[in-house]
Structure 1
Amino acid sequence: MSRSSAAANQLDQAGFQNIACITSGLQKVKPGTFDSVGTTELQDAGKAGLVTVQGKISAVLGTVLVCAYLFITFFPEQAEKLLQFAPTS
C-alpha cells in the first residue's frame, strides 16, 4: 500500500503486485480492508502514535474539568475566592 501514486507506479514498474494507493486519505480506509500487523487501525497509522497518547490526555483533562465543575457547583464561595487569586492581564 502506498500513500503516493508516483510511489505506487514505481513499485508497479519494479514488478511488485497487489499495490494499492490511497488517494482520499487514511481516514477513509475501513477496518479489515488491508491486512495489518498490530492493534492500531490503518486509519490511525499516519498520526505518529498520537492516538494512544490522546486517549490518556483526554481522560485526564475530562476528569479535571468534571472535578472543576463539581467544585464550582457545590462550593461556589470557595471557587470565587480561588478565582480571585488567578492572575489577570
Structure 2
Amino acid sequence: MPQTTSHIKNSKLILRNRNSNKKYKIAIKQSIKQYLLSVKSIITTNNQDTLKLCQDNLSTVYKKIDKAVKKNILHKNTAARKKSRLAKLLK
C-alpha cells in the first residue's frame, strides 16, 4: 500500500488509465470478432453484400486501432501487425 501522498495519487491515476485503456482494448477485440464473423460468412456464401459488410467492418477495426495508437494504448508496430493480419484474411 502506498504511503506517501504522491504515490497515492499516482496509484489512482494508474487505475483510471488502466480502466480507460481496457475500454479501448475491449472495443478493438469486439470489432475484430465482428470482422472475423463477417469473413466467415463470406467463405460460406459468395455474396457482394457480405463483401461490402466485411470491408466496412475492416475499416471500423482500422479506425479503432488507429485511435488506440494515437492515444498511446497500442504500440504502432503492434497495430501494424494486427492490421496486416486482418487484411490478409480478406484476400
When the two structures are superposed, what TM-score results if normalisation uses the length of structure 2? 0.35
The one of the two structures with greater contact order (alpha-carbon pairs below 8 A, sep at least 6) is 2
When the two structures are superposed, what TM-score results if normalisation uses the length of structure 1? 0.35
Greater CA radius of gyration, 1 or 2? Answer: 1
